Amino acid sequence: MADLTLGQSDISVVVSDTTGNIALINTSGDSGNSLTVFESSRGQKIASNSIPVVVCDEQSVRNNFLTGQVIIGLTAVQLPSNALKNSINIKSSDSNTGILYVGSSNAVTTATGYELSAGESITLPINNSNLIYLISDSTNQIISYIAS
């Protein structure tokens, strides 16, 4: 990531490892951050302001993250309380044999939750990990999480 200053705009340039597309993030706008994505091979704009942009201090993220594992079964389990500044990534263990379901309350069920199969993950931009509940269609399923 490289930072540029163009006039009064602070721009961060991010190059994707898989596509090579270039994203320009303007962090000095009055209405918040904005994003413009260009295709690297032709320089053609392919998206603008199409997704929310969260800009954080890279050093604080690097030094302030947490990890954990939780066993999930046939009843809803709330993740432990951890104040977060950015997001949490939840991954279903590669060794899981059942399907996990993610929800926002202890009412989550196998019919209402967001499905995660073995090896799959989801990232959620939340401010506390205790806002997440999980249930499985099998006992002794493991999730790992990393958050900042």
Q: What is the pLDDT along the chain (148 residues), one digit of tens a residue?
A: 444 434 444 444 444 445 555 555 555 555 555 555 555 555 555 555 544 445 555 554 456 789 999 999 999 999 999 999 889 999 999 999 999 999 999 999 999 999 999 999 999 999 999 999 999 999 999 999 999 8
**Residue 121: what pLDDT?**
95
- 3 state DSSP class of 113: coil
Q: Which residues of 78-109 are buried (b: 16+ CB within 10 A; e: fewer)?
A: ebeeeebebbbebbbbeebebbbbbbeeeebe
pLDDT at 143: 97
Q: What is the pTM of this model?
A: 0.59
Check residue 53 and give its pLDDT. Answer: 47
Here the tokens at position 42 are: 């032709």
Residue 80, pLDDT score: 95
Rounded Cα distance, 103 and 96, in Å = 19
State residue 6's pLDDT score.
Answer: 41
pLDDT, residue 64, reads 75
